């Protein structure tokens, strides 16, 4: 069983199929890091993104690029609504974490039922067929879906990394995730940052669901099941560690696929729960990689205050 072709095939297919899982895990982890909430409305955003693309591409027969645009518009609108009329109000009312957690589940169930009423429960795909052409690369089957999927997920992650590292709003997000109240003192509008995080997560979900729905069948409640993987990857990768979640998603996908070579396939479904159990009990803060040595510049790098806003350093001594 353990010949190089089989391992190569499992490795390649796992890498390709974890492309959407990486996006879901990064989206979930980003909101957890910045907004400090377990956002299970992400399942609703994922479903909305899929059905918008499905209606545009499969039902209306329009090109995928239009489907992607419609999907993004739908999911961004949903993200704006949920942040503005949901999370913002709950934060204002100082709702407990548990209450917000229940709210996110309720929204996802509600959206799933709405989609069920609108589109029915028959499993659907973005394109009419599930079959993708295949090329053999050294006896490893590479479907024509694989490379674009990996490239899309990698591009999204790269764009997010660049955004967080080099843009003003990206640095505001990091600042808010570190200490929202202190960030506010520096003139950062944390409400806009929270909104931005939810909207970026929504956009990642849209890309992820288009990848998923062009290869697998989707029902209104499928996204709730997909969230289990995103949650496990986020916890295993370390809560608040976006890239840890992405790496955990890839590793979990590979381990899950390869596991059937070593354990009875009936036990495969237990693996995710086993990882979750071990991660929560033994690594509640996630699996930490050794910290990289910081340069003097990065240590002393400061966030530029918003224009016209005084920093604590500008304040006269009392």
Is residue 239 within 8 A of residue 279, CB to CB? The reply is no
Residues in 203-242 that interact with another protein by CB under 8 A: 212, 215-217, 219, 221, 225-226, 228
Whose Cβ is closer to another protein: residue 158's or residue 261's? 261
Task: Give the residue with the Cβ less far from another protein, 84 or 143.
Answer: 143
Residues 268 to 297: which contact another protein by CB under 8 A?
268-269
User: If binding is defined by CB under 8 A, does position 61 make contact with another protein?
Assistant: no
Of the candidates 288, 291, 284, which has an alpha carbon nearest to the alpha carbon of residue 248? 288
Per-residue b/e over 254-275, b at no fewer than 16 CB within 10 Å? bebbbbeeeeeeeeeeebbeeb
Provide φ and ψ at 123, rounded to 5°.
Answer: -65, 135
Contact 68, 52 (CB under 8 A): no
Task: Yes or no: say if 58 and 293 are a contact pair by the CB < 8 Å rule.
Answer: no
Residue with tokens 């955990």: 248
What is the three-class DSSP state of 160? helix
Residue 208: CB minimum distance to another protein, A: 12
- What minimum distance in Å lies between the beta carbon of 119 and another protein? 11
- Taking the complex as a whole, how short is the minimal distance between the CB of residue 254 and another protein, in angstroms? 10
Identify the residue among 257, 275, 279, 286 touching another protein (CB under 8 A): 257
Residue 251 near another protein by CB under 8 A: no
Mark the segment that binds another protein (CB under 8 A) among 4-12, 48-56, 76-84, 230-238: 4-12
Joined tokens for residue 78: 């949903």
Return the sign of the alpha-carbon dihedral for residues 170, 173, 178, 181.
positive
29 vs 257 by CB, closer to another protein? 257
CA distances for 299 relative to 168, 187, 191, 296, angstroms: 17, 21, 27, 5
**Looking at 42-50, 68-76, 253-261, 279-287, which segment touches another protein (CB under 8 A)?**
253-261
**Cβ 13 to another protein, closest distance in Å?**
4
Name the residues that contact another protein, by CB under 8 A: 1, 6, 9-10, 13-14, 17, 113, 116, 120-123, 125, 128-132, 134, 141, 143, 212, 215-217, 219, 221, 225-226, 228, 253, 256-261, 264-266, 268-269
């Amino acid at each position: 069983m353990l010949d190089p072709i089989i391992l190569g095939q499992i490795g390649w297919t796992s890498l390709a199929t974890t492309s959407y899982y990486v996006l879901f895990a990064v989206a979930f982890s980003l909101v957890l890091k910045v907004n400090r909430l377990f956002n299970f409305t992400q399942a609703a955003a994922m479903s909305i993104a899929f059905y918008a693309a499905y209606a545009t591409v499969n039902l209306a027969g329009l090109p995928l690029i239009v489907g992607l645009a419609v999907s993004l518009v739908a999911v961004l609108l949903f993200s704006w609504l949920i942040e503005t009329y949901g999370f913002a109000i709950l934060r204002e009312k100082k709702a407990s974490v548990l209450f917000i957690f229940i709210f996110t589940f309720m929204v996802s169930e509600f959206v799933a039922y709405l989609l069920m009423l609108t589109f029915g429960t028959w499993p659907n795909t973005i394109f009419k067929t599930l079959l993708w052409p295949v090329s053999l690369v050294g006896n490893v089957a590479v479907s024509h879906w694989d490379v674009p999927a990996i490239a899309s997920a990698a591009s999204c992650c790269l764009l997010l990394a660049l955004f967080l590292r080099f843009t003003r709003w990206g640095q505001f997000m990091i600042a808010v995730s570190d200490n929202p109240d202190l960030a506010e003192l520096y003139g950062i509008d944390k409400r806009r940052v929270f909104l931005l995080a939810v909207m970026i997560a929504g956009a990642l979900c849209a890309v992820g669901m288009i990848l998923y729905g062009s290869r697998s069948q989707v029902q209104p409640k499928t996204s709730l099941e997909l969230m289990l993987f995103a949650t496990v990857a986020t916890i295993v990768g370390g809560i608040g560690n976006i890239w840890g979640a992405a790496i955990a998603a890839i590793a979990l996908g590979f381990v899950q696929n390869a596991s059937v070579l070593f354990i009875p396939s009936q036990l495969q479904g237990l693996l995710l729960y086993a990882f979750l159990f071990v991660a929560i009990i033994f690594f509640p803060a996630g699996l930490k990689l050794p910290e990289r040595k910081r340069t003097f510049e990065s240590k002393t790098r400061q966030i530029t205050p918003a224009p016209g806003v005084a920093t604590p350093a500008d304040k006269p001594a009392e």
